[in-house]
Amino acid sequence: MRRRPVRQPSSRPTITTPTTVDANFTLADDAPHGELPAVWAIGDVHGCCPSLDALLASPDIAGDPTCRFWFVGDLINRGPANAEVLRRVMALGDRATVVLGNHDLRALGVAAGCLRPDPRDTLNDLFDAPDADELLDWLRAQPLIHVQDRHVLVHAGLFPGWDVPQAVALAGEVQDMLRDDDWRRHMRTLTGTAPLAWSANLDTQQRLRFIASAFTRMRLCTCNAALAPGAKSTPGRWPRGTLPWYDLPRRADAGNTIVFGHWATLGLLVRTDAVCLDTGCVTGGPLTAYRLSDRKLVQAPREALAQAA
């Protein structure tokens, strides 16, 4: 598919380095703006602390000490400085809102002893840190979803069959297990193969696994709103019979803007109903921040990314 430069909206978002995005990149004239001043949503960090530092130090962000941050999840793994990234975000205090991603859940699963380390994991700096227990306790206390003024923050997406109140309630079932003192045992329930289709009649284990998978791993769905496993297709090359979750008709969350990450091959996407901010920081792309109030974009400089690679 032919690629074209980002089309600049009237607010002229700041992009620190030149970038291109897939041809389906959309910045609609009616994209959300004006409702959430001084909230920056930040894409998947993946342990790239120099990139995060550079982003937070950019004039548009550092110049407003009262601004808040929404992190789309996957703060850690695949990059080199996982413990330091967690410390940076923790230090932001109540200015930071974080939702859990699949790599964050993976770290908890490995720490709990119910998942084997993968050769691609880069979590040893976290597990060997003197404050590892504190960092993991903070991580498992984070939610799967955050809702404010018709903006919904999630890692992978919002399952098309759920409206927002239902999604919040279902996320709470998983969050309660992660926050329990016996969370290591509960991780055995949450990890493992998840069903592809949602039903209120799923047994407890399958129900919890589907909820976790939908919030942290979903990309494509079938036309019947079943999850399509393992799909990382680039735009325009979806497997037959599948669509991105945000393109399914009759989504139950209509009227909301879903802010998410998780999908580096999709890249930057800004629409009225969906904003994807995973621009592949850990694989050499920029780390992206998006201001909800006016659609301004800021990206970490390439130099910082090179140091983190």
Radius of gyration of the chain (CA): 18
How do residues 210-220 score in pLDDT, each as one tens digit? 999 999 999 99
Q: How far apart are CA 169 and CA 163, in angstroms?
A: 10
Report helix, strand or coil for 220: strand
Q: How far apart are CA 187 and CA 110, in angstroms?
A: 9
- Spatial CA neighbour of 299 closest among 19, 9, 6, 10: 19
> Mind listing the domains of the chain with CATH numbers?
22-308 (3.60.21.10)
The end-to-end CA distance of the chain, in Å, is 27
Instruction: List helix spans (H) across 141-276.
Output: 164-179, 183-190, 204-216
How do residues 164-214 score in pLDDT, each as one tens digit? 999 999 999 999 999 999 999 999 999 999 999 999 999 999 999 999 999
The pLDDT of residue 1 is above 50: no
How do residues 31-69 score in pLDDT, each as one tens digit? 454 444 599 999 999 999 999 999 999 999 999 999 999
- Spatial CA neighbour of 104 closest among 175, 52, 35, 167: 175
Contact 50, 287 (CB under 8 A): no
Q: What is the pLDDT of residue 236?
A: 80
